Amino acid sequence: MEKIIEQIKEYKNILGNSVVIPAHHYQRPEVVALSDFAGDSYMLAVEAAKQTSDFILFCGVRFMAEGASVLASENQHVVIPELLAGCPMADMINESHARKAFEEISRVSKRIIAPVVYMNSYADVKSFCGEHDGAVCTSSNALKISSHFIAKGESLFFFPDYNLGINTADSLGLKENEVARIGRDLKVEDKESYDDVKMFLWDGFCHVHKVFTVGDVEAAREKYDNISIIVHPECNRDVVKSSDISGSTAQILNQIRDSKPGSVWGVGTDYNFIDRLAREYGPGTEHNKTIVPLRISPCVNMEKTTLQKLAFSLESIIEFREGRGELKSEIRVQQKYKDGARKALNSMIEIVENKR
């Protein structure tokens, strides 16, 4: 491990300002330690877009690197250490499903439909959203993005994550008659009327977050006095309701970091992230907080990025720069999707930054 860490540092020295390495919070702790910055998916999209380096070596899953590539300038290269780092949720809808679902929703509803796509998706569906004047959202801003369209009197086609959708609907105070599920068979849930429906939710899910149960929350509360439960909004609705706080990975980190020394946290999200939080803020550190997973559920796709693969990517960038080889694992987005996807991503940023 030490040898490979030295190697990576040496490669980074050789490349200097020509490479920047962003990492998602779910990356292995040793990968995060060698990155230039770590964040939730919103922060990473915004920060990656500000970079002027020739190469962005994105440590995360493919849809995240794709988002960075959409926002990057033409002469920048976005590379991912592991091309096979996918996201099963992002695979739960494609452009053709999205078009058909949108048509079906537009048929049953009298309102204008704004498509809102979770960042955890590929460029084809982000582009579809841009085309239809919708926006991307992430877990940190789903509430703000959804409120924006609902305040204009529009209804949402929210996809692909049902849980983020229903948990956002709950935060908005929507009632059961104001929400409808649309299945992957393209059938809208039966309702007496769709006149009141403000959110049509695709029924995709994240298997990493779906496994947490109310029983896990209760067991943690029983085991630890004064425990606070914090979960990601991709968790099931009953789990979010039984927890104290829900939020994006950055919001989880901030809550734990800013809590009093000695606080006790039960966390419902990817295990590698919780492990890093426990190492940074847990017993044996000056913060002395107790940070326990509600259940051990790692995102195996995030885990695919190892130090070896990071070193391999840096080596490939060096060789490419020196004209000694091809650039391996570069993320390229089809031209036909770029403008629409960029429009949807920029709409998200403008709404979050109150520019709309």
We find the least distance from the C-beta atom of residue 94 to ligand SF4, in angstroms, to be: 16
Out of 37, 54, 88, 255, point to the residue binding ligand SF4 (CB under 6 A): 88
User: Rounded to 5 degrees, what are φ and ψ at 113?
Assistant: -105, 125
Q: How far are the Cα atoms of 39, 53, 84, 161, 165 from residue 33, in angstroms, in the given order?
A: 12, 20, 22, 30, 33
Would you tell me how many other CB atoms lie within 10 Å of the CB of residue 342?
Answer: 20
Residue closer to ligand SF4, measured from CB, 206 or 341: 206
Residue closer to ligand SF4, measured from CB, 228 or 248: 248
Residue closer to ligand SF4, measured from CB, 61 or 351: 61
> Which of the residues 16 through 75 are near ligand 13P (CB under 6 A)?
25, 40-42
- Is 206 an interacting residue with respect to ligand SF4 (CB under 6 A)? yes
301 binds, among ligand SF4, ligand 13P, none (CB under 5 to 8 A by kind): ligand SF4
- Is 248 an interacting residue with respect to ligand 13P (CB under 6 A)? yes
> Which of the residues 194 through 213 are near ligand 13P (CB under 6 A)?
206
We find the least distance from the C-beta atom of residue 299 to ligand SF4, in angstroms, to be: 3
Q: Which residues bind ligand SF4 (CB under 6 A)?
A: 61, 87-89, 120, 206, 208, 234, 270, 299, 301-302
Q: Which residues bind ligand 13P (CB under 6 A)?
A: 25, 40-42, 120, 138-140, 206, 232, 234, 248-249
